Structures are given as structure tokens and as C-alpha cells.
Chains A and B, each alone.
Chain A
Amino acid sequence: MEQAIQVVRDALRFLNDVGAIIYLWVQQTLLGFVRGFLPDYWAGSLVWLIMQVIGIVCVIALLGIFAILFIYFERRGVARVQDRWGPNRAGPWGLIQGIADTVKLITKEDVIPVRADQWVFRLAPIVAMVPAVMVFAVIPFGYAKIGAGTDALNMPFILADLNIGILYGVAVGSLTTVAILMAGWGSNNKYSLLGGLRSGAMMISYEIPLALALVSVGLLAGSLSTVDIVKAQPFIKPFGIDLFGGYILLQPLGFILFMMAAVVELNRSPGDFAAAEAELVAGYHTEYSGMRFAAIYVAEYFNAFFVCCMATTLFLGGWRGPEILPSYAWVLVKAVLLFWCLVWLLGTLPRPRIDQMLGFAWKVMIPLALLNLFGTALGVSLWQAWVVK
């Protein structure tokens, strides 16, 4: 019995570490190869560069798959809420639907309106796509500890463990609005223009509570690095297992504010003012078709995935969890659960009017976020003054 548990534990451990082991193996092999003709310092830099490129390619490839799966998941989820089936024809349970849609969109004619602002119109999908991918640099997808004792190697699965990770995420993430404004303006369509301007107005309002909610988290952790924040989060640990925890215990209001602001920032119903279907036809992407539409559409799901991952990292304890699943699986499970909540919201709530929603941001959410920040600051300083000394 003991032995069996040990075997399972080892297997899980291997499953968790396999990525890191491969990574180290490739790194060492490359290093050995490159050292043959380059001085040590240059060889290290070159290998680091190569490894980063490999990592970026892997993340982007996985993101593509996850975006398609998220689209499928959302359509099935909304259908479930509405007593429908959703896509169930392409492949088993309709799993291939996303790929079929992608192929369709890629092969469709790319229509560009004659009177459109050509450059802005063509650039907008790219501008939407780039920050949507860039933000994933600071998401820790997992964690592995290779070796034991003092020379154990801590390896978070993260592309760039920036010490300003949160700031980077918020700053780059809000660039998406530029793309929406570009798409809205470039389409030379009044519905698109309204959608783009709405998006700008919402960004100005909702970026503030979003950022304020994150500042509280940074304050608690004493760091803006996402890896440090995950490590700093409190967990309830019966039997020495990280069972449940995260900053959601200390920052429930911050979490709710973050998610509410994120729904609006993401342009997802009930906050989809920029693309309000009932009012503005399709808002800023009315005129887009084919590949360009696909880029804008997929970028939205990248952003949704990013926000779910960010909330997981900052509030739900990131990769940490009982070791029945590998660390990256915990990140995914939590992110998908959060995404299900977004889908649930989408299937339920009507869209408030934009002026009501702007008023809500300024009159309710920002004061609440400030209050939350103030309370957190007070708590932290008291804690440090009396408990930590």
C-alpha cells in the first residue's frame, strides 16, 4: 500500500516535472554544442535566446489550441444554459467545430470596404493579436522543483518572470483597446465607429478599478512579480497539503471588482458594449470578414484566457493545489472554471446601457476599489508594525 502510494506520487511528480526535465535536457545539450565554438558568456546568451524562442513558440501553439477549445467550450456552455445542444455535428460531440470554423474563416474572401481607411483597417487585427499574445509572458503556467536539498532548481513555467509582472500585464492588455479603436475608425462604418468609441470610453473607466484591485494584491504580496505573488499566497493546509486558498480569502472584494472590470474590458456580454449585437450590429468588427475577423475574434478569446489565468494567478493560488494533479493542470482547471463563470454570466445577464455602466464604474467601483486598497494598506501596515515587527 505504502509502495503503491509512492509509485503514484512519483508518477505525478514526473508528470509535473517532465516539461522542466525536457527543457533542462535541451538546454544542456545545446549548451554543450554551442560551447564548442563560442566563449562561455556568448554561449550562455545564445542558448538562453534559443530557449526563449522555443518557449514562445510552444506557448503560442498551445494558446491557439486553447482558444479554439475555449470557443467550443463557450458555445457548448451557453447552449447548456439555454437547454440547447450547441455545436455537436463536426467530430465527436462537435469537438472539431472550432477547427472547421477556422478553416472556413481562413479560406473565406477577405473583404475590405473601398472607403475604409486601408492601413488602419488592415493593421487593426494585427494590433489586436500582438498584445493578446504578449501578455502571456508573465503568466506562470506551472512549477517544478528539480533536484533536492540546497541545490534544488526552482522552475516556474513562465516565459519572463518580470519583477513588474502585474504592471506589464495590465499595460499590455489594455493595448487591445487601441486595436478596437483602430478597427472602429478604419471600417468607415458608423456602427463600427460607435463601437470603437464606446470601447475607448469603457477602457478609460474600467482600467482604474481593475488596476486598483491588482495593486491591493501587490501590496499584500510585497511584490509585483507573478511568481512571487503565487508563492506568497496564504493556503489552508490540512495534512500539509495546499488544499484551498489564495488571495481570494483576503481580497474577496478585490476579486469581484477585478472580474467585473475584466468582463467589461474583455468585451464579453454583459459588458460587450463595443460589439453590442442588438444595438450596433457587430460594433467594431461589423466590416471584418475572413482571416482578419478570425484574428480579432481569436484575440478576444486569448484575452479571456489571459484574464482567467491572471485571476487564477493572483487570487486563486495559481499552480498551487493538492498534488493529485500536476501544477499546470491546476492552472488550467481554475482558469476553465472561471471561464465557465464568464459563460454563465453571458448566458444570463442583459446588457446595461453604456451610460449606466460608466456611471457604475465611476460611482461604485472606483470608490470601492479605493476603499479596498486603503483597507489593505492599513491591514498590511498594522500587520507589519505589530505582528512582524
Chain B
Amino acid sequence: MAFGTGIIRSMLTTLRHAFWQRVTVQYPEQKRDSWFYEAGMKPRFRGAPMLVMNPETGAARCVGCGVCVRACPHGVIRLDTSVNQQGQRVVNSYEVEICRCLFCGMCEEACPFGAVVCSHEFELASYQRYSLFWDHRFWEPGAIKPATPIIALPTGKP
């Protein structure tokens, strides 16, 4: 093969690409609209861990057993419980330090009640560092500190 044919071949390759469809996703407008698959998150996507709402009471389903705390490799979750007058265990606070979270899903796997799931939330950037410390106690309107969100089960989660 004569010297230069390879160069010409590569030039033609890039020229061909100049007339192809662009593949980059325009992020804030378009979210994960992959050109290969249908749009949207995969059902198993692991985002930020969040508490699951009990549909009857509207409160968190968490009973404060602390399995997730022990399952977490990085000690991201902190749980504070107490016993009320009826002798029931009450969750005082369920704090997630989301800036150190590995999104490994160990808490979700460990939870025997399905009370904590890895949601599909992934836009977690923030200007204030304190807003990365999610605290269940502050889950009320107008709270300064963001709460560990209590969500209905995301669709598609097994």
C-alpha cells in the first residue's frame, strides 16, 4: 500500500462523520435521551437513598432497626431512635450525608422492610455544603436544612 492511503482513509472516515447524527445529549433540556435506547432512567438505576412513605400514614416506613446503618460501607447513614411511652421504637432522626454516599445500594438491599430505596434522583449538586446533609427531622415546609426526602416508591423498583 502506498504511503498516504491510510491518511486518506482516515480523512474520509472523519468526513463521513461530518454528515452523521450528533450523539451528545443536551443535558438540562434532554435527560438521558440515549440514541440507542428509549429515553429515561433504567428501572434499576441507583440514585440517592431516600426513605419510603407509608401510604397509609404518610410518614416514613422506617422502623429504626439500624440494619442499613451497619450495612453502609462508608457510615453515611446516622440513625437516632428512642422508645416512646407505648414502648414502641420511634425514629428521631434519619440523617444521610449524601456527599459521601457511594450509591452502592447496600442500604436498600439490607433493609428488611423496604423502607429505604435508592431513588432515581441524581441531580444533587448544591451551592451550600449543609444542604448535602439530609436530616429526617427537618422535613417540614420552610426548613432551612433539607430533609432526607420521603418518597413514594419510584416506578419500576422491584
Spell out A's residues near B (CB within 8 Å).
80-85, 88, 344-345, 347-349
User: B26 in the interface, Cβ–Cβ < 8 Å?
Assistant: yes
> Closest residue to B15 on the A side, CB-wise?
A344
**Which of B17-25, B62-70, B133-141, B142-150 binds A?**
B17-25
The interface residues of chain A lying within 8 Å CB-to-CB of B21 are 83
Partner of B23, one of A83, A344, A347: A83
The interface residues of chain B lying within 8 Å CB-to-CB of A84 are 22-24
User: B2 in the interface, Cβ–Cβ < 8 Å?
Assistant: no
Q: Is the CB of A83 within 8 A of B14?
A: no
Q: Is the CB of A347 within 8 A of B14?
A: yes
User: B10 in the interface, Cβ–Cβ < 8 Å?
Assistant: yes
Q: Kindly provide the distance from the CB of B24 to the nearest chain A CB, expressed in whole angstroms.
A: 5
* Known A84-B23, A344-B11, A345-B11; 5 more pairs at CB < 8 Å: A81-B17, A83-B22, A84-B24, A344-B14, A348-B11
Q: Is the CB of A85 within 8 A of B22?
A: yes
Partner of B24, one of A81, A83, A348: A83
9 CB < 8 A contacts A-B: A81-B18, A82-B17, A83-B22, A344-B11, A344-B14, A344-B18, A345-B11, A348-B11, A349-B7
Q: Is the CB of A80 within 8 A of B7?
A: no
Q: Kindly provide the distance from the CB of B131 to the nearest chain A CB, expressed in whole angstroms.
A: 26
Q: Which of B37-94 contact A (CB under 8 A)?
A: none
Q: Kindly provide the distance from the CB of A192 to the nearest chain B CB, expressed in whole angstroms.
A: 30
A101 and B13 CA atoms in complex are apart in Å by 31
A82 and B19 CA atoms in complex are apart in Å by 10
The interface residues of chain A lying within 8 Å CB-to-CB of B26 are 85, 88
Question: How large, as a class, is the contact surface on chain B?
Answer: 10 to 19
The interface residues of chain B lying within 8 Å CB-to-CB of A88 are 26
The interface residues of chain A lying within 8 Å CB-to-CB of B15 are 81, 344
A88 and B11 CA atoms in complex are apart in Å by 25
Q: Is the CB of B18 within 8 A of A85?
A: no
> Closest residue to B23 on the A side, CB-wise?
A83
Q: Is the CB of A348 within 8 A of B14?
A: yes
The interface residues of chain A lying within 8 Å CB-to-CB of B24 are 83-85
Q: Kindly provide the distance from the CB of B5 to the nearest chain A CB, expressed in whole angstroms.
A: 14
Q: Kindly provide the distance from the CB of A259 to the nearest chain B CB, expressed in whole angstroms.
A: 13
A347 and B7 CA atoms in complex are apart in Å by 12
Q: Kindly provide the distance from the CB of A357 to the nearest chain B CB, expressed in whole angstroms.
A: 14
The interface residues of chain B lying within 8 Å CB-to-CB of A347 are 14
A274 and B14 CA atoms in complex are apart in Å by 25
Q: Kindly provide the distance from the CB of B28 to the nearest chain A CB, expressed in whole angstroms.
A: 10
A84 and B24 CA atoms in complex are apart in Å by 6
The interface residues of chain A lying within 8 Å CB-to-CB of B18 are 80-81, 344
Q: Kindly provide the distance from the CB of A242 to the nearest chain B CB, expressed in whole angstroms.
A: 28
A172 and B14 CA atoms in complex are apart in Å by 34
4 closest residue pairs by CB, A with B: A348-B14, A81-B14, A83-B23, A80-B18
Interface centre among B15, B17, B18 (most CB of A within 10 A): B18
The interface residues of chain A lying within 8 Å CB-to-CB of B14 are 81, 344, 347-348
Q: Is the CB of B20 within 8 A of A83?
A: yes
A348 and B17 CA atoms in complex are apart in Å by 11
The interface residues of chain A lying within 8 Å CB-to-CB of B23 are 83-84
A344 and B19 CA atoms in complex are apart in Å by 13
The interface residues of chain B lying within 8 Å CB-to-CB of A344 are 11, 14-15, 18
Q: Is the CB of B10 within 8 A of A349?
A: yes
A81 and B13 CA atoms in complex are apart in Å by 9
Partner of B10, one of A80, A83, A85, A348: A348
A155 and B94 CA atoms in complex are apart in Å by 82
A348 and B18 CA atoms in complex are apart in Å by 11
Q: Kindly provide the distance from the CB of A336 to the nearest chain B CB, expressed in whole angstroms.
A: 15
